[in-house]
């Protein structure tokens, strides 16, 4: 019933061209399509699986709650904007939290080390090991993935954001600038620096593209 | 290889990495998707009247709630300021009495000492 309502509820633009709103099924398909990349993006940024999952869930919730009345073509841009803002919110919260933990470090010193046990590469090693068979090609591929993911995590946040939006999410420069809230020139600079840094890391590790 | 080509190649490798996500994580992503889709209510968000869109329901209530909270906060602040102004300074009444009285202010200062001087 709800998808039918959504189809019926159309907006008319100035040129009287009807825009069909995204149905629940379209939302579902869209989220299924982007959820893995969104999770990885969040993981590169926060380096914690649970936090990354929370960020993706929060972003999905916001998209569906606030933008149910948008056509499906606008969903990728909206979702990316929400995702990047949610990641930034995480950084802000982390900054505030670290300020308090610094102030009360004597009381919380024992608990602080809990998250430090997490090794970003550990999960990848387990994942690679769980795959049956281990041919040379597959090993090289997983090594390339590991190196690139590690290098991406080590990039400055803005460079990583620009690179992933431009080349992984396939956004153009102006869309990326809108999502990041900066000029197109800044996007180009961030992308260029990120690609250069990644290329250096890959060549140092002897990985050819 | 130029920058866009390198970027695309790296993106391809990243795509391959998506297959390595653990099943537990994929399950959690799926449940997150299902949970978010339960909040899908398109009919409440926009009501269309001709060419202009009129927002209704949820969002309007949120805005009204914020406005009411803001007005209540302002009224509370005004109340506090008014109450403080009513309290005034404790010495204010004494000052007014001294200034309005016919006697000079000096008369209140050390009366007993002058009386003692005159008597001695």
Per-residue pLDDT, A207: 81
CATH of the domain at A39: 1.10.1740
| pLDDT tens-digit series, residues B89-108 | 667 777 787 778 776 667 66
What sign results for the dihedral spanned by CA atoms A40, A41, A45, A49?
Answer: negative
In a domain, A10, yes or no: yes
- Residue at A182 is within a domain: yes
Q: Is A7 in the same domain as A99?
A: yes
The reply to whether A9 and A79 lie within a common domain is yes
Q: Does A201 touch chain B (CB under 8 A)?
A: no
Q: Residue range B19-40: average pLDDT?
A: 92
Q: Are residues A51 and A123 in the same domain?
A: no
A27 at interface of B, judged by CB pairs closer than 8 A:
yes
Domain presence at residue A51:
yes
Which one of A75, A107, A139 terminates a domain?
A107
- Which residues in chain A have their CB less than 8 angstroms from residue B37's CB? 24, 27-28, 31, 64
**What mean pLDDT is reported for chain A?**
80
What total of structural domains would you count in chain A?
2
Q: What is the CATH number of the domain that holds A122?
A: 1.10.10.10
pLDDT digit string, tens, across residues A41-98: 999 999 999 999 999 999 999 999 988 888 888 999 999 999 999 999 988 888 888 7
Which pLDDT value is given to residue A136?
78
Quick one: A83 and A120 in the same domain?
no
pLDDT per residue as tens digits for the range B11-25: 999 999 898 899 999
pLDDT in tens, B41-67: 876 554 444 444 445 555 677 788 899
Stretches in chain A below the pLDDT threshold 70: 1-20, 105-134
A126, exposed or middle or buried, with CB in 10 Å at 0-12, 13-18, 19+? Answer: exposed
- pTM listed for this prediction: 0.63
The alpha carbon of residue A77 is apart from the nearest alpha carbon of chain B, in Å, by: 18
Whether residues A95 and A143 share a domain: the answer is no
Show the domain range for A141: 115-203
- Three-class DSSP category at A207: coil
**Is ipTM over 0.90?**
no
CB contact A99 to B (< 8 Å) = no
Residues A11 and A98 in one domain: yes
Same domain? For A13 and A103 the reply is yes
The closest of B103, B10, B89, B67 to A208, measured between CA atoms, is: B10
C-alpha span between A34 and A136 (Å, rounded): 30
Which member of A27, A49, A145 has the closest CB to residue B37?
A27
Q: Which residues of A touch B1 (CB under 8 A)?
A: 209
pLDDT of the residue at A153: 92
A187 three-class SS: helix
Q: Which of A82, A122, A127 to mutate to test the interface with B (most CBs of B within 10 A)?
A: A127
- Name the domain boundary from A49, A78, A107: A107
Mark whether A85 and A130 lie in a shared domain. Answer: no
Query: For residue A184, what pLDDT is reported?
Result: 94
pLDDT the model gives residue A9: 45
Taking CA–CA distances from B52, the nearest residue in chain A reads A12
A91, A18: one domain? yes
């Amino acid at each position: 019933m709800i998808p039918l309502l959504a189809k019926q509820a159309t907006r008319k633009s100035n040129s009287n061209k009807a825009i069909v709103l995204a149905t629940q099924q379209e939302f579902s398909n869209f989220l299924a399509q982007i959820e893995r990349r969104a999770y990885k993006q969040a993981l590169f940024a926060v380096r914690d699986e649970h936090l990354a999952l929370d960020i993706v869930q929060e972003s999905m919730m916001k998209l569906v709650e606030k933008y149910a009345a948008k056509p499906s073509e606008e969903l990728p841009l909206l979702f990316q904007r929400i995702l990047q803002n949610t990641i930034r919110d995480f950084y802000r919260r982390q900054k505030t939290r670290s300020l308090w933990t610094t102030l009360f470090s004597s009381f919380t010193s024992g608990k602080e080390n809990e998250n430090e046990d997490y090794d970003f590469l550990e999960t990848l090693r387990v994942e690679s090991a769980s795959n049956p068979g281990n041919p040379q090609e597959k090993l090289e591929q997983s090594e390339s993935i590991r190196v690139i993911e590690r290098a991406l995590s080590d990039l400055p946040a803005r460079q990583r954001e620009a690179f992933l939006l431009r080349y992984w999410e396939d956004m153009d420069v102006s869309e990326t600038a809108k999502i990041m809230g900066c000029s197109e020139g800044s996007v180009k600079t961030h992308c260029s620096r990120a690609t250069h840094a990644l290329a250096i890391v890959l060549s140092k590790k002897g990985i050819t593209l | 290889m130029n920058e866009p080509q390198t970027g695309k190649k790296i993106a391809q490798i990243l795509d391959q990495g998506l297959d390595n996500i653990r099943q537990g994580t994929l399950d959690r992503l799926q449940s997150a998707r299902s949970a978010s889709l339960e909040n899908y209510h398109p009919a409440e968000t926009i009501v269309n009247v001709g060419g202009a869109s009129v927002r209704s329901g949820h969002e309007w209530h949120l805005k009204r709630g914020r406005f009411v909270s803001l007005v209540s906060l302002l009224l509370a602040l005004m109340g506090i300021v008014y109450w403080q102004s009513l309290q005034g300074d404790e010495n204010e009444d004494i000052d007014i009495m001294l200034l309005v009285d016919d006697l000079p202010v000096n008369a209140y200062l050390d009366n007993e000492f002058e009386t003692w001087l005159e008597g001695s």
